[in-house]
A and B are shown apart, each in its own frame.
Chain A
């Protein structure tokens, strides 16, 4: 099954063509998959690879690679979104299907920017941080 509808794919190709720097997707797969009611025999790790491979095909500046149980990943499958291959703490844990695929695409677009898209006031507020901040955002595909 195609990752995106034809018109969506065209849009994403256009966006990825405008990336200002390369983005790497590091796919982390684990020893076993979390059972999910109703998911039957879906291999979530393999599906994550398929999603990231499909996205990487849409732009020269998007690449992906797969590692088995890499350090720093508490849950699997997961994908780390890395501007120029650097781990900057941007991750999606679980399979970004349905509506959540747009979150992953959005992360790639932001990671591919030379300058952040946040407003100046927001950047100034972040500048005041004098400690590390861990954000976990629970999402669902619908």
Chain B
């Protein structure tokens, strides 16, 4: 979660929201949340799990590995 926050604080283009999955079960279901953290970029799920900074940036910016 912290990486998402760091990106939002570093770029005016980025916003980051943590969503407590248990408290919003309908939204979690809509986003197919089975494991956390689940990263959703512009409404599209982008795989689950905590990852290092470089990989996180690749995922959110859809950069090639």
Contacts and interface: CB of A to CB of B under 8 A. Distances in A.
B29 to A, nearest CB: 11
Contacts of A118: 6-7, 10, 53
A113 B8 CA distance: 13
Nearest to A107: B5
Which range holds the interface residue count of chain B?
35 or more
A71 interface: no
B57 A136 contact: no
Tell me whether chain A's interface is mostly helix, strand or loop, or mixed. mixed
A139 B18 contact: yes
Contact of B8 (A90, A106, A123, A131): A90
A141 B60 CA distance: 23
B20 A95 contact: yes
25 contacts: A34-B24, A36-B23, A83-B9, A88-B8, A89-B14, A89-B17, A92-B20, A93-B17, A93-B18, A93-B24, A96-B18, A103-B5, A106-B5, A107-B5, A110-B2, A118-B7, A129-B13, A133-B7, A134-B41, A135-B40, A136-B16, A137-B38, A137-B40, A138-B37, A138-B40
Interface of B: 1-2, 4-24, 27-28, 31, 33, 36-43, 53-54, 57, 60-61, 63
Interface of A: 34, 36, 44, 75, 81, 83, 88-96, 100, 103, 106-107, 110-111, 113, 116-119, 121-123, 125-129, 131-141
